[in-house]
Structure 1
Amino acid sequence: MTSTGSTVTSGAGLPRSASVRAQIAAAASVAGLRQVNGLLPANRAGIWAGRGLIAAVMAAFGPTLPGTSVVEVRAGDLRGEWVRAAGVEHGERAIYYIHGSGYVVCSARTHRGLASRLSKATGLPVFLVDYRLAPEHRFPAAAQDVAAGYRWLLEKGYLASDLVIGGDSAGGHLALDLLLHNDRTGIVQPAGAFMFSPLMDLTLTLAEQQDRRRPDPMAPARAGRRLVELYTRGQSAASPRLRLDIAPGTPLPPLFVQAGAEEMLSDDARHLHEMACAAGVRCELELWPGRIHVFQALPLLVPEAGPALRRVAEFVRSALAENSVRERVS
């Protein structure tokens, strides 16, 4: 299922500069949200406060669309929820979405608004996996839950070719880990995968370099590193499930990556793109002007979220259509 070729889009079809609203939001966040996140301690109280703060931000600036259907899933140890925008029915195709926020902070509930907009844009139901969080559950708990969610969808009768995986931030790392795990274990790959501001370097060295050039509005890189370490503590940074590498010729599906050009994880997005292309995997990278992390989830704060999700929907439709044609030919 390998396809070669790559695209980096930093201007064609994208705004030339961030909207005024996005610029104001970034400046205000540097003075406010960044400072608060930077001060939160990595203890139980700090984690509780961080979870509440991010949940409030997501609810305020990326609320769930009216009329959205939400159905909780409890199947053994698997936790998640089906999210369908108004008018979207269950069918043969679906999106499998993996939320981010450092393996510690977010949940299916915090990303319900984003899932509802993805569902509306694509016309597909979205299954949000609610994987176990650190520090209560360390590596490889999240990765195991993500893999279990994918297997569950296949067991429910979905064909891999009718699924597209999505993920943001740490969810992008978990999405790529799932694709590589599928390759190692002989599990059929999905039609494609899209990622918002994917975290690739779990040491956050790349993020720290970018953060020095221009402070990230959401949190200092050191705060992100503290969260990630709650998940990876006791593990070698060189572990193949943590330092992900796409070997040449690895049969991965097409990838589509979006990030803010000046956000903390922009270099991580570039690294993923370069690594995928060097391995012969088709990967398109869009660097949107601005510096809000996972801006696609915050449409009331960053108006570029809507157009960005429409481009994701185009990728999803294209990936599913290409896979359908490929299967008919074979």
Structure 2
Amino acid sequence: MEPVIEERPGCSKQARRFSAFMKYAIRPIFRYSPLTKFMLRLAVVLDLGAPLLMRTSRDTEVERIRLDGFHGEWIRPAGVTNPDRVILYLHGGGFFCCGLRTHRKLVERIAERSDATAFSVAYRQLPSAPLSTSMADALASYRWLLDQGYAPENIVISGDSAGAFLAFTTALTALKTGLPAPAGIAALSPLVDLDHEARSTYPHTKTDVYIPVHRLKPLKRLLLAGMEGDPLPSPCDQALQNLPPVLIIVGSCEGLRWDAELMAKRLAEADVPHRLQIWENQIHVFPAFAGVIPEGMQAIDEVATFIRETTTPKHAAA
């Protein structure tokens, strides 16, 4: 089986202008800020300030849910007719920044277009918790949804960047532990390989307009605390054969395109139904900026179509 790759040509003026802004205004901050515990703690400012720029619609209901050691929130857009269809969303941010607030508008848009509700997870992350805890919280969230009575065939796990890493590990660990597979996985600009050496020669690793992919190498030491000596938990190196259908969306010039193409290759080798969409000259997780980038909303519609097609809620069958 060959990887299923769809090229999405065209890049709007808005996307090009926003890319330039990210390159000159945001990239230097991410590229040169020291990876100390103090600086990692400062990253919480991103999440706290996000509501000023990323407001949800007034009619969207947001309900905070406390879980064991962490929390999440239900996002229920107005007009949803299929409450049985659920998106488990795991935000990106390099396992140390961003959170529910930074991603609330993106999750709302995906849920609204999918005619679904979403459960967005504030999993624990650096500097207070290593990767193993983030992975455990993501899995616990999926288990909690099942315990609430949601059918696995109506749950799609989605995430961006580091959150897409967790989306894959959640589905893989669920299968290993005897839990049922979700209906699908929707991954935006996924990180799937923690072996930075394999990625280091990829041309876009150093030229990505705002994500310093090369900094994964020093970050890995903090992420893998307590997992020394164990095999890397990279999703691309796991047994993928029983995964549900997968949709991957990535920009053509971003550093994690390497990961997206690698995962598509491994999914093809495992005969897992999948599609990799490569969008011309789009930045890392461009759907998150759909309010500025027209292609962002187009990509969200692709995700929504995938979610509707891979789930079978009772209301839809009636």
For normalisation by structure 2, the TM-score amounts to: 0.90
Say which is worse superposed, 75-84 or 31-40, in terms of deviation.
Answer: 75-84
Per-residue CA distance 1:15-37 (angstroms, 9 max, x = gap): x2211111121122212211111
Q: Contact 1:78 / 1:149 at 8 angstroms: preserved in 2?
A: no
The size of the alignment, in residue pairs, is 315
Q: Which amino acid aligns with 1:102?
A: G
1:301 to 289, 292, 296: 292
* Long gaps (5+) in structure 1: none
Measured in 1, the distance between the counterparts of 2:58 and 2:65 equals: 21
Q: Contact 1:18 / 1:289 at 8 angstroms: preserved in 2?
A: yes
**Who is 1:8 aligned against?**
5
Say which is worse superposed, 125-134 or 235-244, in terms of deviation.
Answer: 235-244
**Who is 1:81 aligned against?**
73
Confirm or deny that 1:117 pairs with 2:72. Answer: no
**Aligned in 2, Cα 1:211/1:72: closer, same or farther, shift over 3 Å?**
farther
Q: How far off its partner does 1:226 sit?
A: 3.8
Measured in 1, the distance between the counterparts of 2:98 and 2:277 equals: 24
Q: Contact 2:190 / 2:256 at 8 angstroms: preserved in 1?
A: yes
Percentage identity across paired residues of the two chains: 30
2:224 to 227, 232, 235: 232
SS in 1 for 2:43: helix
SS in 2 for 1:308: helix
Q: Which amino acid aligns with 2:125?
A: L
Counting only pairs closer than 5 Å after superposition, residues 18-97 of structure 1 correspond to structure 2 as 18-53=11-46, 56=49, 59=51, 62-88=54-80, 91-97=83-89
Q: Contact 1:66 / 1:86 at 8 angstroms: preserved in 2?
A: no
Measured in 1, the distance between the counterparts of 2:198 and 2:54 equals: 28
Measured in 1, the distance between the counterparts of 2:89 and 2:110 equals: 10
Say which is worse superposed, 254-263 or 80-89, in terms of deviation.
Answer: 80-89
* Long gaps (5+) in structure 2: none
Measured in 2, the distance between the counterparts of 1:25 and 1:206 equals: 30
**Aligned in 2, Cα 1:28/1:92: closer, same or farther, shift over 3 Å?**
closer
**Who is 2:144 aligned against?**
152
**Aligned in 2, Cα 1:129/1:183: closer, same or farther, shift over 3 Å?**
same
Say which is worse superposed, 202-211 or 215-224, in terms of deviation.
Answer: 202-211
Per-residue CA distance 1:265-316 (angstroms, 9 max, x = gap): 0110001100011011111000011241111111133221111111111111
Q: Which amino acid aligns with 1:38?
A: R
Measured in 2, the distance between the counterparts of 1:276 and 1:253 equals: 10
Q: Which amino acid aligns with 2:43?
A: G
Q: How far off its partner does 1:224 sit?
A: 4.1
SS in 1 for 2:65: strand
Q: Contact 2:125 / 2:131 at 8 angstroms: preserved in 1?
A: no
Q: Which amino acid aligns with 2:28?
A: Q
Q: Which amino acid aligns with 1:264?
A: G
Q: How far off its partner does 1:237 sit?
A: 7.9
Q: Contact 1:61 / 1:301 at 8 angstroms: preserved in 2?
A: no
